[in-house]
Amino acid sequence: MYLPKLRELTEALRSLFSAPYTTKFPKVPYTAPKEYRGFPKYDEEHCIGCGTCAQVCPTDAIEIIDDKENRRRTLRINYASCSQCGQCEEKCITEKGIKLSDKYSILVSDLKAPEVFESVEKEMALCEICGEVIACRDHLQWIKERLGAKAYANPNFLLEFQKEFTEVAPSNPKDRIRREDLIKEVCPKCRHKIVVRDEF
């Protein structure tokens, strides 16, 4: 009858004088193994602002905030919603725009604290006719580089080439679409209208 009690007492004494099995986290920071899938981080240089990561995120943790007035797109990850699944990294079209880090823990009392968010900001190209978003400038550049000489066939990319050599001032919107609007930075809908409704 006393045997189990004695065994428990021995175990208690042994654990009292032996080293702890658990880590001292969070007092002592813990470094995650290299393979650990932590929170994703953007790489400003390689992200082109395409928004694919936001589309594939299964938890809707990535938000696309378009500020047309200032022509800025912000991609913002909310770590409180991120499940660290790695889909954003896997499906990133440049393969380098976003990478999972070894960061696994955020200790905050307020879920709106800046540490809970990770973001990247990009300049947007807007349609010169209707003002809708075409894409981010870096995205246009990325496609243009892949198309090579074929990019000259598209007026939007043609203007991108031109901008490398001279400043191209945006034109003022007119009361109706004209044929000359073909050589403008416009969205697919307006380009369709320019071609189909050509009255001249």
Environment class of 75 (CB within 10 Å of its CB; exposed 0-12, middle 13-18, buried 19+): buried
Question: Among residues 87 and 156, whose Cβ is nearest to ligand SF4?
Answer: 87
Smallest gap, in angstroms, from Cβ of residue 90 to ligand SF4?
A: 8
What's CA 80's distance to the chain center, in Å? 16
Binding site for ligand SF4 (CB under 6 A): 40, 42, 47-53, 57, 59, 61-62, 75, 77, 82-88, 92-94, 97-98
Question: Among residues 41 and 178, whose Cβ is nearest to ligand SF4?
Answer: 41
Work out whether strand 133-136 and strand 40-42 pair parallel, antiparallel, or are unpaired.
unpaired
Question: Among residues 104 and 161, whose Cβ is nearest to ligand SF4?
Answer: 104
The H-assigned helical ranges of the chain are 2-17, 52-56, 87-91, 137-147, 155-163, 188-196
119 CB-near residues (< 8 Å, 6+ apart): 42, 74, 75, 76, 77
Question: Among residues 48 and 134, whose Cβ is nearest to ligand SF4?
Answer: 48
Question: Among residues 99 and 178, whose Cβ is nearest to ligand SF4?
Answer: 99
Peptide bond preceding 26: is omega within 30 degrees of 0, i.e. cis? yes
How open is the CA angle 176-178-182, to the nearest 5 degrees?
A: 130
Residue showing the smallest CB distance to ligand SF4 in the complex: 97
